[in-house]
Amino acid sequence: MGTMKNEELEHIKYVWEGISTGVARTHHYKTLMITFYNEKNKTGYKPTTNCGSCLGSIYTWWKKLAEENGLVKKPKAKKSVRKNT
């Protein structure tokens, strides 16, 4: 996704705070999420879309972006523990 400018990083942090649970806190965050996605990926999603598949794809991209910028820690893999029975 390339190098991000400081302003973009601040914007990413701000938006991620509002969408990190997978549900936008307000319509404002949802609009920012979609608009920024459209700018970076040259897509044309409407900021008012309620398409679950579309929003899921956009959220997945945002989550990856947040992980790349240190806003989310990837969960550690669970160790498989064998019980002797």
Q: What is the 3-class SS of the chain, one letter each residue?
A: CCCCCHHHHHHHHHHHHHHCCCCCCCHHHHHHHHHHHHHHHCCCCCCCCCCHHHHHHHHHHHHHHHHHCCCCCCCCCCCCCCCCC
Q: Does any domain span residue 39? A: yes
Q: Is residue 63 part of a domain?
A: yes
**Domain membership flag for residue 77:** no
On whether residue 1 sits in a domain, the answer given is: no
Question: Is residue 79 a part of any domain in this protein?
Answer: no
Residue 57 resides in a domain:
yes
Structural domain boundaries, residue 28 = 22-68
Q: Structure pTM?
A: 0.78
**Burial class of residue 37 in the structure, from the number of CB atoms within 10 Å of its CB (0-12 exposed, 13-18 middle, 19+ buried):** buried
Tens-of-pLDDT digits for all 85 residues of the chain?
Answer: 455 688 899 999 999 999 999 999 999 999 999 999 999 999 999 999 999 999 999 999 999 999 998 887 766 667 766 777 6
Number of domains in the chain: 1
